[in-house]
């Protein structure tokens, strides 16, 4: 009888230990799965951040390439065509870039260093787009050959040239006008402010000569 009680106690104890082992194993397995899930989530998050960062870099490279192509080719292709071919695609790339930056912000939430970097990148991208648009607008206003301010300047000079030729006997005025055209072309070729000053100075001389003449 005593042996039976001892056996029962041993069986109960063994069952209890077995239950504890099963419970402990289950808890370990659950913790392991949670750790694996957290680790996988961290990996996925890192991969997503890396992919988006790469896409941002590609967006910027494509935008800069379009920008440079515009400045290199707009004289030959014409402003409107070059604007369509290069500036509009550049703006699209910058818009996509800012969208990627926005989508990255939730992924780096809590990391103040990365948050600040993204904020700065977003601001710099917006500034770049604003300044690019401003420069392009100024180029359109300036024009080329027969368009914009440059076209108006050429038309005015040609009108003056014709009037000198029609009147005749104004060699000194024609010489000054030729100097004016030379300074103009030097500026358009080299883009240096020195030629702007020389053009203005020569134009003032020409005005004084015209005033003193019998034209």
16 and 122, same domain (yes or no): yes
Q: Provide the number of structural domains found in the chain.
A: 2
Give me the mean pLDDT over the 71-89 stretch.
92
23 and 93, same domain (yes or no): yes
* Higher pLDDT among residues 173 and 72, named by residue: 72
Give yes or no for residue 12 having a pLDDT over 70.
Answer: no
Among the three residues 100, 122, 142, which one is the final residue of a domain in this structure?
142
120 and 188, same domain (yes or no): no
Q: Could you tell me the pLDDT band of residue 11, with boundaries at 50, 70 and 90?
A: low
Give me the mean pLDDT over the 89-103 stretch.
93
Q: Could you tell me the pLDDT band of residue 39, with boundaries at 50, 70 and 90?
A: very low
Cβ–Cβ < 8 Å for 203, 176? no
77 and 100, same domain (yes or no): yes
Give me the mean pLDDT over the 141-157 stretch.
76
Among the three residues 142, 160, 179, which one is the final residue of a domain in this structure?
142
Give yes or no for residue 93 having a pLDDT over 90.
Answer: yes
Secondary structure (3-state) at 147: coil
Give yes or no for residue 57 having a pLDDT over 70.
Answer: yes
Q: Is the pTM for the entire model greater than 0.85?
A: no
Q: Residue 22: exposed, middle, or buried by beta-carbon count in 10 A (0-12, 13-18, 19+)? A: exposed
40 and 135, same domain (yes or no): yes
Compute the mean pLDDT over every residue in the chain, rounded to the nearest whole number. 78
58 and 129, same domain (yes or no): yes
Among the three residues 101, 120, 142, which one is the final residue of a domain in this structure?
142
User: What gap in Å lies between CA 113 and CA 101, rounded to an integer?
Assistant: 15
* Higher pLDDT among residues 21 and 213, named by residue: 213
156 and 114, same domain (yes or no): no
Give me the mean pLDDT over the 164-182 stretch.
77
Give me the mean pLDDT over the 11-40 stretch.
52
Q: Taking CA 208 as the corner, what is the angle to CA 174 and CA 204, rounded to the nearest 5 degrees? A: 85
Residue 82 pLDDT: 93
> If we measure between CA atoms, which residue out of 94, 185, 91, 190 comes closest to residue 136?
91
User: What gap in Å lies between CA 65 and CA 172, rounded to an integer?
Assistant: 48
Q: Domain limits at 72?
A: 2-142
């Amino acid at each position: 009888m005593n042996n039976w009680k001892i056996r029962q106690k041993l069986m109960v104890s063994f069952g209890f230990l077995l239950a504890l082992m099963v419970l402990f194993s289950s808890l370990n397995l659950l913790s392991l799965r949670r750790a694996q899930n957290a680790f996988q989530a961290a990996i996925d998050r890192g991969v997503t951040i890396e992919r988006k960062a790469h896409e941002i870099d590609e967006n910027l490279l494509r935008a800069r390439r379009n920008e440079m192509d515009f400045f290199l080719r707009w004289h030959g292709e014409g402003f409107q065509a070059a604007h369509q071919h290069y500036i509009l695609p550049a703006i699209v790339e910058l818009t996509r870039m800012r969208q990627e930056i926005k989508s990255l912000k939730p992924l780096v939430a809590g990391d103040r260093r990365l948050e600040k970097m993204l904020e700065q990148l977003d601001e710099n991208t917006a500034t770049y787009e604003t300044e690019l648009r401003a420069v392009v607008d100024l180029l359109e206003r300036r024009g080329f050959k027969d368009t914009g301010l440059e076209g108006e300047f050429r038309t005015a000079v040609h009108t003056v040239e014709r009037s000198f030729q029609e009147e005749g006997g104004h060699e000194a005025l024609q010489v000054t006008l030729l100097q004016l055209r030379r300074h103009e072309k030097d500026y358009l070729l080299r883009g240096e402010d020195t030629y702007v000053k020389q053009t203005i100075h020569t134009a003032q001389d020409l005005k004084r000569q015209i005033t003193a003449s019998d034209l």
